[in-house]
């Protein structure tokens, strides 16, 4: 397939943990060299909420997400193309991945209607009606100009019957084929297309449709439709089932996951890429993450805590400001509050990924995982995998 | 008076414009050396809205404002004292000036009652009742630990009858004396106290009460109660009348002014220090300032403007982002929008002050003023002073 030799793109696994499925790799795009496992900060509307692109660069973020649904509605793909694609529009020189908009169509818009052709939906902004087809979404994503693009899929809500899930997965599979055709027809080799594996919590459906996608040979594979309300044991079981089918030499992306400890478990199971609004959204609400778990900055007992969020953290929020000050900013509704909280949490996520990667490379991932989870969850009962 | 020899504080005029009243000076506090004329960004609640202290440092801001009314209510002066004063609390190593809270008591709080003792008011946060006296305000400001502090005054609304203004000024004068006594009694030489000249738009009252304050010998003088709705010709007339009375060797601070061109006129009249929420507040609403006047970033015609706010500006917003992108961020309500707009306007204000100072030092202020005002106001009819 053409994608495999797409210029400037490559993926290689440089080390695999002998005891778990964890792997360290390098994903190259024309815009950056991404060390995996990687967490991709979410920049829904062409901005990682509260952060500047320079702050992301200082944290050595090498890939971020943009959202096709939001950017299609505003400012529109043609304007972004005129601005030199998302990279030019937002002044971001590293890699970008755009999702397909499928998840947002199903979570944000009302009056959606799925047909074989595509999905009709109403804008959450002005109620106007729009149609996404597998073809139109790929065209939009080519206008946006991301490095990695996703095909339109149905993100199945939880719970769903096996019958519904099977029907939906057939549609997602068909759409994936049409997306690939459009992608190849556009003949633009500046981005690569992933396939999205669905199947809700049914191992046999997950396995079956993952195989079908692998037969279609995508450049990489996403595991979608998880972390949508199902019990956590299902989440990890589905990842395991899917990864068993996915080829070793292709990147694997677990969409929308998640909490720091869930990401560690995802890495253990062989996932390379993650994204989630968790660190940014929670930060704006005053909750940040650290080695010792969640920290609720708004709590009254922070008022006289004149130490940093995390004395071991090197982010600007921890280097320059106290919990007491940040809490005061939250109490006052000052913009510097979500800024500092977001800086800390994004720094923590990215730094945790780098630590994990070093542990995999140094053949000490199992030990690292155990120590991290025990401290993070404040439990001594973490299972050794 | 003790203040004159207060350790670490000094003010000197290093150059006076031979044709206007403009002067370049150096104001030293234990925290920084401030080149005047200076614009002081407003950090009402111990934060210059949307900015980090590091960003202010990058712009070489050497003095910012804090607000006594707001900080007294939240988080409270005792907590700030525990944190090492405002400097320690907010992690700001340069100078800080705190206003007296007078303006906010009169603009934000309802049910205020002025007596000889002080002013009783209701918190705009929770409706609780509080009393500010000239004595208590100085005590609060000593807790806050700013470098320059202001005494409680009545900020007279516009318009007001001469009778009301005279009565009010007598009270402000009496309060100034009580504030000074308290300041000296506290025996803390880490801050200096200014006097505030009031008098509404009545030249004789402005002159009379400015003289009275000068007799009381404060470390510096503020001109207050202007830019509160009076016609602009009054503003400049009152500044002129007051400055004629104020001693040459003391710093002069025009409170709450203002637009960039008003500041240039204030400097022409011999003012050394300015503060205003204009650049920060307008930026949050999508309007920024530049050499060519106001720029409304939200306007539809900015949508496809792929150039910076101001190609001559070296601020991060202009170096890295386009008007089209910033407009998009405003359309989406993204926090990066007010951040970038504020960065630009604060940079423009500070840079304009530095340019003005260089022009004064180089004996070319009259020419600079004319060129600045013609371009800024897009008029060829600017009067030569």
| Residue reference for tokens 């922070």 | A302
For the four alpha carbons of B3, B4, B9 and B15, in that order, the dihedral sign comes to positive
Shortest distance, CA B83 to any CA of chain A (angstroms): 7
Residue A126 lies in a domain: no
Contact A320 B91 (CB under 8 A): yes
Instruction: Convert the pLDDT of each residue in B220-265 to its tens digit.
Output: 999 999 999 999 999 999 999 999 999 999 999 999 999 999 999 9
Q: How confident is the model at residue A383 (pLDDT cuts 50, 70, 90)?
A: low
Is the pLDDT confidence value at A5 over 70?
Answer: no
Residue A381 confidence (pLDDT) above 70: no
Element (H, E) at B195: strand B192-197
Residue B103 lies in a domain: yes
The whole-angstrom separation of Cα B58 and Cα A243 is: 48
Would you state the structure tokens that stand for residue B52, as one six-digit string? 């980090």
Residue-averaged pLDDT of chain A: 95
Nearest to A325 among B54, B89, B328 (CB): B89
Q: Which of A274, A298, A328 corresponds to the end of one domain?
A: A274
* pLDDT band, residue A30 (cuts 50/70/90): very high
A143-152, A283-292, B79-88, B186-195 — which is least confidently predicted? B186-195
Q: Are B337 and A49 in contact, with CB atoms under 8 Å apart?
A: no
**Sign of torsion over alpha carbons A336, A339, A345, A351:** negative
Q: Residue A213: which of A169, A273, A164, A148 has the closest Cα?
A: A169
pLDDT for residue B310: 97
Residue A100 near residue A152 (C-beta atoms within 8 A): yes
- Is there a single domain that holds both residue A334 and residue A247? no
Cβ of residue B125 closer than 8 Å to a chain A Cβ: no
Residues B160 and B253 in one domain: yes
3-state class (DSSP) for residue B23: strand
Of the candidates B196, B188, B91, the residue with the CA atom closest to the CA atom of residue B140 = B188
| Chain B residue with Cα closest to A75 | B328
The whole-number average pLDDT for the span B91-118 is: 90
> B123 and B188: one domain?
yes
Residues 6+ apart with CB under 8 A from B215: none
Subunit contact A331:B83, Cβ cutoff 8 A: no
Are B115 and B157 members of one domain? yes
pLDDT digits (tens, 9 = 90+) for B154-180: 999 999 999 999 999 999 999 999 999
The arrangement of strands across the sheet holding A63-67 comes to A38-40, A273-275, A252-254, A220-223, A192-197, A148-149, A95-99, A63-67
If one counts the domains in chain A, the total is: 2
Can you state the angle between helices B232-245 and B203-216, rounded to 10 degrees? 30
pLDDT of the residue at A171: 97
- The answer to whether residues A48 and A196 belong to one domain is yes
Which pLDDT tens digit goes with each residue over B43-75?
999 999 999 999 999 999 999 999 999 999 999
Whether the predicted pLDDT of B305 surpasses 80: yes
Q: What pLDDT sits at residue A2?
A: 41
Boundary of a domain, candidates B251, B277, B303 = B277
Kindly report the CA angle at B180 between B178 and B39, in degrees rounded to 5?
Answer: 120
Establish if A298 belongs to a structural domain: yes
Residue B91 contacts A where some CB pair is shorter than 8 Å = yes
What is the reported pLDDT for B1?
A: 41
Q: Say if A359 falls within a structural domain.
A: yes
Does A268 lie in the same domain as A222?
A: yes
Nearest Cα to Cα of residue A186 among A178, A195, A175: A178
Question: What is the C-alpha separation between B23 and B35, in angstroms, rounded?
Answer: 11
The interface pTM score, or ipTM, of the predicted complex is: 0.97
Q: What distance in Å separates the CA atoms of residue B130 and residue B123, rounded to the nearest whole number?
A: 7
pLDDT for B2 equals 41
How is residue B26 written in tokens?
């150096």
Shared domain check, A347 and A310: yes
Confirm if A240 and A210 have CB atoms less than 8 A apart: no
- Residues B206 and B297 both lie in one domain: no
Per-residue model confidence as pLDDT tens digits over A112-171: 899 999 999 999 999 999 999 999 999 999 999 999 999 999 999 999 999 999 999 999
Q: Do B50 and A329 touch (CB under 8 A)?
A: no
> Does residue B6 form part of some domain?
no
Would the pLDDT of A92 be above 70?
Answer: yes
Percent of chain A residues topping a pLDDT of 90: 92
- For B359, the domain range is 284-377
Look at the block and give the residue holding tokens 């130490």.
Answer: A307
According to the model, what pLDDT value does residue A340 have?
A: 98
Q: Measured at the alpha carbon of residue B37, what is the angle toward residues B35 and B43, in degrees to the nearest 5?
A: 85
- pLDDT of B102: 85
The CATH number covering residue A232 comes to 3.20.20.105
Cα dihedral A148, A149, A153, A159, rounded to 10, equals: 40
B45 and B123 in a single domain? The answer is: yes
Q: Are residues B203 and B342 in the same domain?
A: no
Determine, yes or no, domain membership for A128: no
**B80, B305, B334, best to mutate vs chain A, most A CBs in 10 Å:** B334
Half-sphere exposure of B187 (CA within 13 A, CB side): 1
One domain, residues B248 and B344: no
**Residues listed for chain A:** 385
* Residue B275 a catalytic site member: yes
Domain annotation covers residue A262: yes
- Residue B107's pLDDT is what? 84
Of A248, A274, A300, at which residue does a domain stop? Answer: A274
pLDDT for the residue A108: 83
Which tens digits make up the pLDDT trace of A271-283?
999 999 999 999 9
With a CB cutoff of 8 Å and minimum separation 6, the contacts of A113 are: A119, A120, A121
Query: Averaged over B174-194, what is the pLDDT?
Result: 95
């Amino acid at each position: 397939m053409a994608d495999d030799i797409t210029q400037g793109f490559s993926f290689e696994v440089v080390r695999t943990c002998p005891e778990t499925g964890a792997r360290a790799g390098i994903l190259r795009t024309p815009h950056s060299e991404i060390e995996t496992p990687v967490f991709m900060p979410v920049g829904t509307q062409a901005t990682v909420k509260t952060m500047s692109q320079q702050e992301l660069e200082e944290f050595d973020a090498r890939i971020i997400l943009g959202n096709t649904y939001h950017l299609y509605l505003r400012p529109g793909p043609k304007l972004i193309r005129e601005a030199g694609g998302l990279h030019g529009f937002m002044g971001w020189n590293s890699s970008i991945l755009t999702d397909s908009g499928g998840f947002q169509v199903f979570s944000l818009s009302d009056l959606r209607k799925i047909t074989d052709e595509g999905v009709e939906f109403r804008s959450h902004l002005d109620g106007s009606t729009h149609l996404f087809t597998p073809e139109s979404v790929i065209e939009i994503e080519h206008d946006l100009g991301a490095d990695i693009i996703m095909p339109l899929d149905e993100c199945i809500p939880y719970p769903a019957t096996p019958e519904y899930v099977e029907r939906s997965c057939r549609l997602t599979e068909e759409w994936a084929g049409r997306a690939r055709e459009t992608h190849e027809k556009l003949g633009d080799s500046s981005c690569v297309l992933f396939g999205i594996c669905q199947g809700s919590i049914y191992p046999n459906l997950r396995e079956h449709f993952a195989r079908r996608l692998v037969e279609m040979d995508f450049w990489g594979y996403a595991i979608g439709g998880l972390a949508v309300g199902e019990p956590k044991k299902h989440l990890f079981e589905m990842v395991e089932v899917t990864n068993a089918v996915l080829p070793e030499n292709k990147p694997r992306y677990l969409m929308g996951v998640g909490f720091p400890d869930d990401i560690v478990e995802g890495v253990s199971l062989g996932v390379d890429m993650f994204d989630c609004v968790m660190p940014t959204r929670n930060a704006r609400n005053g909750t940040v993450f650290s080695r010792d778990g969640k920290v609720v900055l708004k709590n009254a007992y922070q008022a006289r805590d004149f130490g940093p969020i995390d004395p071991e953290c090197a982010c600007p929020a921890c280097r320059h400001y106290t919990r007491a000050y940040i809490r005061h900013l939250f109490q006052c509704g000052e913009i510097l509050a979500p800024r500092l909280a977001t800086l800390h949490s994004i720094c923590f996520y990215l730094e945790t990924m780098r630590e994990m990667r070093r542990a995999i490379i140094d053949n000490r991932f199992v030990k690292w995982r155990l120590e991290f989870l025990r401290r993070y969850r404040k439990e001594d009962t973490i299972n050794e995998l």
